[in-house]
Amino acid sequence: MSAASLSKITAVLIVSAIEPCLDFWTRLGFRLTTEVPHGDHLGFVILDGDGVEVMYQTEASARGDASTAMLANFRGDKTYLFVETSDLDGIERALAGCEIVLPRRTTFYGSMETGYREPGGHFVTFAQFKR
């Protein structure tokens, strides 16, 4: 049996509220492509930025559509995203005023990086590799 072929991985970030998180990504040019309400707030969204996708789901929405087996292991943990970019300066300009949790640095593996905590509490590291 051969290994499965993977074509895409999209992070689903679990948060208490989606609305505060949207500005972080729209500053980077992402657009909201899918909105699913849950009560009087958003329960799930998909944001797309030139083929790069991120999804958000609220804890309440996730609990509402999770199986009993999933609920037993659901903790609502935070996620760390590693995002490659060709323009770290542009990322820093776009996110001016957002919370920096990793000041710009050069790594031993050849990238310049900086990291932010987006409003949902997740850590997003942007990395620019020398080409």
Asked, for residue 93, whether it belongs to a domain, the answer is yes
Asked, for residue 4, whether it belongs to a domain, the answer is no
Q: Is the pTM of this model over 0.95?
A: no
Asked, for residue 5, whether it belongs to a domain, the answer is no
Q: Quote the number of domains for the chain.
A: 1
pLDDT tens column, 115-126? 998 998 888 989
pLDDT tens column, 12-31? 898 999 999 999 999 999 99
Q: How far is CA 111 from CA 44, 59, 84, 92, in A?
A: 33, 34, 9, 15
Cα–Cα distance, 118 to 99 (Å, whole number): 7
Cα–Cα distance, 93 to 28 (Å, whole number): 10
Asked, for residue 3, whether it belongs to a domain, the answer is no
- CATH of residue 31: 3.10.180.10
